Every structure is written in structure tokens, then in C-alpha cells.
Amino acid sequence: MNFDFTEDQRLLQETVRGFLEGECTPEAIRALWETDTGRSSALWKQLAEVGLAGLLVPESQEGMGLGETDFVLLCEETGRVGLAEPVVSTAAVAAPLLRDLGGELAERWLKPLAVGEAIVAVGHPWSPFVDDAHVADLLLLFRDGELHALQPSDATLEAQPANDPARRIAKVSWQPSAETRVAEGARAAELEAVSLDRGALACAAQLLGACDRLINEAVDYTSQRQQFGVPIGSFQAVKHMLANVKVKLEYARPLVYRAAASVAEGHPQRGVHVSMAKVAATEAAEVGTRQALQAHGAIGYTWEQDLHIWMRRSWTLAQSFGLSRRHRERMAEFALGDAAPIGAGGTFGG
């Protein structure tokens, strides 16, 4: 499998990176923590203008009509800056879910979503709470093998505490009915499975970006902080500590890229590939948070230190769209099953 990206994909990544670095500074992110919603409708509109919101929306609905192999690099960039806007729930999960669902619901919501005029939140059985339901214009909720669509005004939202001040989650109480049901049976099961994989993939990609930023923050700090007249980053122990994080990150990266290709192509082992990517990216980011904090020492615990943005974002992403335990269970179920090809390059290859 070829993991290389095209020149156009890299150019789009650089464009989005330049935009995000200019708009999503640590100061801007901290300012949003203090607002009621924690979100910026103006920023969401700008993200739509650079193509992020509607990248997976068909061109006929004002989107870019691209796929997950294009989106994965952009998700990585949103993680690098610690962006809190609903890229995962709306752009990565809801947009293709509406596209696949089709019908009147897709016709009504895809275009507003693509141009940044609507936010759609998705609730799935692997998480008890729904991200960004408080700012959503539409809720898509999986329950008991069915998919339901409803207005937020038809549900009761109960805000829940979160360790990450950028994260806004809510318990959503609602009454399923024939009027809200938009898919059931095998159709709903397939939509639920692929939605989970898309969400987990997007989280894994954001974890790559967050981990990379944690390494860079630690390198910058240890290059300036001095002891015995030299930067502490020149000490072998510090070098090895951060190099180990880099190895974890670069091990996870191809797994995430392969998972993106599997989701885009509907690969029969899509779920296993996504779970491997989520677990590996989570491990890298978890090691990255510990080592970056250790590299900073006591100052890393202070609230004024920007390190908190990526540490808390990493912990949030690790819990979203399936904990590592559940993804490991899915990998084990496949590997120990009768249909798994056994041998080097076989079990998880192809």
C-alpha cells in the first residue's frame, strides 16, 4: 500500500496549517474557554471557507467531494493547534453520515453544513455523552439499533463536567419515535459502524497533531531552560525521553494513514485498521503528555502554561469514539477469529 500523499493533498494541508496557525493561537483558544458556548461561529464560518467543514460533502451540495485520505491530514493540523470547534462530530462524522443516509434530511442539511451555517452533533453507543450538542442545529443519535434525527429543542440537554475546558459535552435525554427514526435494521447498523470508525479515525489524526505539538513545546522549552550553564535539552536523558515519544508518534502515523485509506475505500478490515490507529495514536499522545510535562518540570503544572491545551486535548480525544480498551477488544476479536489470516503481513496486512 502506498502511503504517499499527492502534491494537491500536501498543498491543501499547508494552506489549512497556515490558516490555523494564524487564527487558532493559544491566546484565542484560552479566550474561548471563558465564553458560554466555548465555540466561535465566526471561526466555524472561516473553517468552512477554507474547505474544512464541507470536505466530505458532495460538490453538488457546496462541498469539496473529497475523501478520508484527504481529510486525515487536515484533522492532524486541527490537533496540532488544539482546535476545539466540532470538526470531528460535524465535518468528519455527520457530513458523510448525512451523505450516506441521503433523502430529505441530506438535502436539508448538507449544504448549510458545508458552508458553515449549521453544526450537527452525533451520539453513538460507545460514548454516554454527546459532544457539542449545546451548539448543534441537528442531533443524529444512534440508539437500540436505530438512527434518529431530531432538533435540539426536542431533547433535554444536561451539561457535564469535563477535564478539558475546550470540551463541551452533554447528556441528551429524548424520546425515540417513528417521526424521529430515519434508519433501522441492517441499514442503521452499517451507518453506526462506519460512523464510529470515522469518528475514531478523526480523533486518531488529531492525536497525531497534538502529540507532535507536545514534542515541539518540550523541545522549545528545554532548549531555553538552562542548568549548569547549558540548555537542559542538551542532557542525554532529556534527549532520550523526547526521542522515545517521537518514535511512538512515527509508529502511529502510518497506522492512521492506512486507516484513512481503509475507511475511504470501504476495506473489509476497516474496523480493525481504525482500532489499531486509535490505540497507537492514543499511546503516543499519552506518552507525549507525560514526557512533555516532565520536561517542563513544575512550571508545566501551572495554569498559565500553554502545555495544558494539548495535554487536556489529548486526554479528551483518547476518550472519544471508544476507549483504547474497547478498540483492543475489537482487534482481539478479529485476530482470534477463524477468518483472520495468520502470519507476518497477514493478520493485520492487506
* 245-255 pLDDT per residue, tens: 999 999 999 99
Helix (H, G, I), strand (E, B) or coil at 120: strand
Residue 175, pLDDT score:
94
Is 3 or 50 the better-scoring residue by pLDDT? 50
Tell me what the pLDDT averaged over the chain comes to.
94
Structure-block grid coordinates of residue 168:
463541551
Contact yes or no for 258/273 (Cβ under 8 A): yes
Which amino acid would we find at residue 123? G
Nearest to 144, CA basis, from 103, 189, 179: 189
Please name every residue paired with 172 in a beta bridge, in sequence order, or none if there are none.
Answer: 157
pLDDT bin (cut points 50, 70, 90) of residue 339 is: confident
Task: Tell me 233's DSSP state.
Answer: G
Helix (H, G, I), strand (E, B) or coil at 267: coil
| pLDDT tens, residue by residue, 89-134 | 999 999 999 999 999 999 999 999 999 999 999 999 888 899 999 9
Residue 177, pLDDT score:
95
Burial 247-257 (b: 16+ CB within 10 A, else e): ebbeebbebbb
pLDDT for 348 beyond 60: no
DSSP track, 48-107: HHTTSTTTTS-GGGTS----HHHHHHHHHHHHHHT--SSIIIIIIIIHHHHHHH-HHHHH
Residue 3, pLDDT score:
64
Question: Whole-angstrom Cα distance, residue 58 to residue 65?
Answer: 4
Half-sphere exposure of 211 (CA within 13 A, CB side): 30
State pTM to two decimals.
0.95
